[in-house]
Structure 1
Amino acid sequence: WSMTFLPDGRMLVTEKAGKLILLSADGKTKTEVSGVPAVDSAGQGALKEIVLAPDYAKSKRVYFSFSEAGPGGKGVVLARAVLTDGAAPALTKVERLFQAAPYVEGSGHYSGRIAFAPDGKHVFFANGERQKFDPAQDPKSTLGKMLRLTLDGKPAGDPGLTAKGFHPAVWSYGHRNLLGIAFDSAGNLWEQEMGPKGGDEVNLVLPGRNYGYPIVSDGDHYDGRDIPDHSTRPEFEAPKVSWNPAISPGGLIAYSGKMFPQWKGDLFIGGLSSQALIRVDVTGTSAAKGDQWSMGARIREVEEGPDGAIWLLEDGGRGAEGRLLKLTRK
Structure 2
Amino acid sequence: MPLPSPALAAFAGTMALAASAAAQGELQRFKTQAGEVVVETVASGLDNPWGLAFLPDGRMLVTERPGRLRLVGADGRLSAPLGGLPGVRAQGQGGLLDVAIDPRFAENRTIYLTFAEPRAEGNGGTSVLRARLDAGGTALEDATVIFRQMPAHRGGNHFGSRIAFDRGGNLLVALGDRFDLRDQAQNPANHLGKVVRIRPDGGAPSDNPNKPGWAPEVWSIGHRNVQAAAINPATGELWTVEHGARGGDEVNIPRKGLNYGWPVITYGVDYSGAKIGEGTAKPGLEQPVHYWDPSIAPSGMAFYTGDRFPAWRGDLLVGALRGRMLVRLDLDGDKVVREERMLEGLRERIRDVRQGPDGFVYLLTDAAPGRVLRVRPADGRS
Compute the TM-score of the two structures, normalised by the length of structure 2: 0.82
Q: Equivalences for 1:36-115 in 2 at 5 Å?
A: 36-70=85-119, 71-86=121-136, 89-115=138-164
| 1:296 paired to 2:370 | no
Shift of 1:229: 7.0
SS, match of residue 213 in structure 1: coil
Shift of 1:241: 0.5
Shift of 1:277: 0.4
Conserved 8 A contact 2:129-2:145: yes
Match of 1:246 in 2: 295
Match of 1:315 in 2: 366
Conserved 8 A contact 2:90-2:116: yes
| 1:201 paired to 2:253 | no
Match of 1:125 in 2: 173
SS, match of residue 124 in structure 2: strand
After superposition, the C-alpha distances for 1:252-303 in whole angstroms (9 at most, x for unaligned) are 1111222112212211111001000011112212224421111311010111
Shift of 1:231: 4.2
SS, match of residue 134 in structure 1: helix
* One-letter code aligned to 1:75: G
Match of 1:264 in 2: 313
CA gap of 1:296–1:289, structure 2 versus 1, over 3 A, is: same
Match of 1:177 in 2: 225
CA distance in 2, matches of 1:232, 1:154: 34
| 1:163 paired to 2:211 | yes
Shift of 1:205: 1.4
| 1:224 paired to 2:273 | yes
CA gap of 1:91–1:244, structure 2 versus 1, over 3 A, is: same
Conserved 8 A contact 2:330-2:336: yes
Conserved 8 A contact 2:87-2:118: no
Conserved 8 A contact 2:229-2:241: yes
Shift of 1:232: 3.4
How many residue pairs align between the two structures? 324
Radius of gyration: which is bigger? 2
CA distance in 1, matches of 2:294, 2:358: 34
CA distance in 1, matches of 2:372, 2:153: 33
CA distance in 1, matches of 2:206, 2:304: 27
| 1:329 paired to 2:380 | no
Compute the TM-score of the two structures, normalised by the length of structure 1: 0.95
After superposition, the C-alpha distances for 1:188-239 in whole angstroms (9 at most, x for unaligned) are 2110000011000101111111000001100001111112576431421000
Task: Identify unmatched segments of 5+ residues in structure 1.
Answer: none
* One-letter code aligned to 1:324: V
Conserved 8 A contact 1:77-1:112: no
SS, match of residue 328 in structure 1: strand
SS, match of residue 262 in structure 1: helix
CA distance in 2, matches of 1:104, 1:82: 29
Conserved 8 A contact 1:158-1:171: no
The answer to which structure, 1 or 2, has the higher relative contact order (CA under 8 A, 6+ apart) is: 2
CA gap of 1:74–1:157, structure 2 versus 1, over 3 A, is: farther
Identity of aligned residues (%): 40
Match of 1:149 in 2: 198
CA gap of 1:261–1:192, structure 2 versus 1, over 3 A, is: same
Task: Identify unmatched segments of 5+ residues in structure 2.
Answer: 1-49
CA distance in 1, matches of 2:200, 2:222: 24
Shift of 1:51: 0.8
